[in-house]
A and B are shown apart, each in its own frame.
Chain A
């Protein structure tokens, strides 16, 4: 634990160290050539990982003011997301207002956290709404993330998917969440997968690229681990579990496999890749389990929005209720907190 202490002093500057692991400073990921041996050597024992996930939630908990602090941290790592067919500009503007101001002032005051100026990390929308979000969030420091590359299936022609990224970057998106061609994983076409992601990375330019593996589609944890390594080798800034549209989305076993892959990649290359679980994270308790997973597997320096995001829509409301409970001692209700 001491290895990871005092990490919050790192700047988000992409040239300096963005994290430490075992006392070693790490830089942002710039990718490495595809290393097929490494991909092939992956071993994941599903039952063992599931047992680890099961015991993890019982091994760590945070209470009282620590819990409040952790929940605030969860808010600051949130990609507040709307990805529905019925999204409108006004709906996106509402979401952005919530992103700027996720916790009510009186609650902020009661918690004594005015100085933290808590905001969510990003607002995550379809390309159509990038400009709306950029305008609505101007000057707030909240980033705009665009899902891209034929989200959620990722099956449109490659040139169109790459063009889609460029359009979103031009429209002002800071983060680009891309989806991979799952067929490449099933077919073991690691070179094709690597090339595809490398092309996305190039198109993303200075925007942060989060690579969605579609873990609910990949199904096996071995596939998840292999795809994680290929994505990191191809230059992913983040690896992300799922689209939120798959039958199952972010699960803790998947989280353990992906964070262990990130750790191994960091140990081998000296480069830090971020992690974004998305889909199915709805409760404050879950957010603490995920943060604890980051702390256990990667250390405290991975518990910041530079390297950790939740993809979530309903989570914020539950966190607000728990924070209010902490502040007042009374259990709260949904309607007491402004909707997004």
Chain B
């Protein structure tokens, strides 16, 4: 076609990015890669190699090593060996390394972008303009954190060797999100890139060598799920950070339950994209392009559920269709392409299958008449309308360029539909009214809410989910905490095995039996309740004397308590000031009854400890009353013209298992931060002295604490913990019993992937203010929601 003909047609024509340099780099390595361990390339010890291909052509790019358990072991050994020296470096020295990583990523930015696009199939525009710049930004930002570590996180220490497993949708970016905070906080790393997309991780490994990063600090082991499994199970790995499917996240939770491995999970999503009638509709449509048609929809936070206000639905759908018709699908290396290739055949098949099922369930499928390449793995942008909440395409993560649409009538219905999901990763709200937008944003169960924007990311802002979208945050201060632990906690001794007085069978029960001066009940929904079982358990003093009987709670009591907690959601909406007032009042009432409570407690823990538990208990309540209106969020500073609000939100209902060591102080040390942050609690008091319940509910009843904010169920910890941890309407478990119960809490919480906070079977000195109270507890009592609000007129 001549220029004159092109002058008439005004088509774009091809605009390919040259892959020459990236291919030359692959050739330089003979198109074959071993593992990167201890700064050397090591061939696989057992399982050979596998191929990685360009999904847009099917052409093989390279062969990479299949990591075995012994390869993982070699990498973990290297990382362990590197740990002491790496941690002995000054923060400034580590900052220099991270700075060098950022700089060097920038120097090789185009090669990395091209490599990413070839291996993954994403448009070069995205890898060039979004992925790689964010990678560099992440290392820069964390070079800063490395520099400031000691000032900003005094008393904290690194976890040790961290195992990191990343997905194929943003290969190098996810690597950066994992490695940068780990290194900045003084950990060493074994990272497994995704099987489909290992190449940029290997290119990054070479950059680590290039900048002279000490041996063993970063190790990359390639392979499939079995490689990841070996990493997860390795005993010398202190923490696992995983991004990927909820299904695998659940398997990892299960596999690490009996260990002390820390865990952060960034999992799937089915994020709502809410458009109100007063939105700038054309801009909202562009938001969808940046949302569900970004990276072929293979984005965990993709706005895959479009919720439209009824009044604008028809006009909006017309606009969406028009826009879909101008999307260009094609060779990912073409600079004028919006939609590239799907990463792998199995993923393409999954998308097709789910869309077919959605249509079979009544959805209407519309796809624009745009050209798709004849070879390679492509799927057209797809609009599914008439989707009902019951349909699989409204519930399941498709991970493809497929948008499911629904309508709503009112803001409250929008929130209801938006939150009607197992997930809670991200959400978008489009409205020109700041009242509507922020009101809705505050009610959405999502770790990130974008107001009038979509898929904005920055190293300074935490990213992560609510519910089954995982736990932990990546980015910002909140992300760093995932790689840090209080130094005292790391070196805390193991908890001695509990010895309940009841075990020491007293010889003369009957003679010693005093009059039972009152009946202790459960405390549910602000009322004293008899146990469902109709049984009680005997509670004995340290010398074996029978002190009284506590109700023997069972599953149904836990069920009732959780329901009561759920109904007490008003506590979360109470102002922080009012919550503080209530807590102060509890302290005031405890102070008034301090003598009688201490007297009864003394029978179990002795007079000295009892007096101390009561007086420190009053102080502890004061501390959290003080914190209630001071545990602020933050306003982050991403490089955009907007306000990024990091809000500390309550988790919801927290199940608490109290320690035996300090029946009163332990209870207060756990329940008070949970209440201060606005959660409701279902508490299992210590088995040692559950009779404290009677004293506590009298305190709560007289202190204006709303019914249901705290519920107390006494009984055998092991039985109650199981029901509590398995309960899908419990959002987090705080388990501070022995090591067995910590493992049980993790195991039983797999169902809804609730957050688990335990003492890892270690002894916490509740009488020491450094250990027994403060930010560490509060941080576990909240989840951070980042709300992005761009502004400008």
Contacts and interface: CB of A to CB of B under 8 A. Distances in A.
Contacts of A45: 279-280, 283, 430, 432, 452
Contact of A59 (B338, B369, B453): B338
Secondary structure dominating the interface of B: loop
Contact of B13 (A3, A49, A63): A63
B336 A296 contact: no
Contact of B8 (A8, A46, A50, A256): A8
B210 interface: no
B4 A303 contact: no
Nearest to A5: B9
A22 B432 contact: no
A45 to B, nearest CB: 4
Interface stretch (A68-76, A139-147, A274-282): A68-76
Interface string B280-324: 111110110010000000000000000000000000000000100
Nearest to B789: A47
Given A47-B792, A69-B7, A73-B10, 4 more contacts: A55-B129, A63-B15, A70-B10, A112-B4
Given A44-B280, A60-B336, A65-B13, A73 B642 contact: no
A12 interface: no
Secondary structure dominating the interface of A: helix
Interface string B1-39: 111101111111111000000000000000000000000
Interface of A: 1-3, 5, 8, 22, 43-52, 55, 58-66, 68-70, 72-73, 111-113, 115-116, 220-222, 256, 260, 291-292, 295-296, 300, 303
Contacts of A111: 3
Contact of B283 (A8, A52, A55, A112): A52
A60 B15 CA distance: 9
A193 to B, nearest CB: 20
Contacts of A52: 283, 286
A-B interface, 3 closest residue pairs, ranked by CB to CB distance from nearest: A66-B13, A48-B283, A47-B790
29 contacts: A1-B326, A1-B370, A8-B8, A43-B278, A43-B432, A44-B280, A45-B280, A45-B430, A47-B453, A47-B791, A47-B792, A49-B280, A49-B283, A50-B792, A58-B129, A59-B336, A60-B12, A62-B336, A68-B6, A69-B3, A69-B4, A69-B9, A70-B10, A111-B3, A113-B3, A116-B7, A256-B282, A292-B12, A296-B326
By size class, the interface of chain B is 35 or more
B338 A116 contact: no
B281 A43 contact: yes
Contacts of A296: 326
Contacts of A112: 2-4
A63 B338 CA distance: 17
Given A45-B452, A61-B15, A260-B282, A295 B10 contact: yes
Interface string B364-378: 000001100000000
A221 B792 CA distance: 10
Contacts of B6: 65-66, 68-69
Given A43-B278, A58-B125, A3 B325 contact: yes
Query: Which of A1, A2, A45, A64 gathers the greatest number of chain B CB atoms within 10 Å?
Result: A45
Nearest to B7: A69
Contacts of B499: none
Contacts of B518: none
A228 to B, nearest CB: 13
A221 B322 CA distance: 23
B335 interface: yes
Nearest to B370: A1
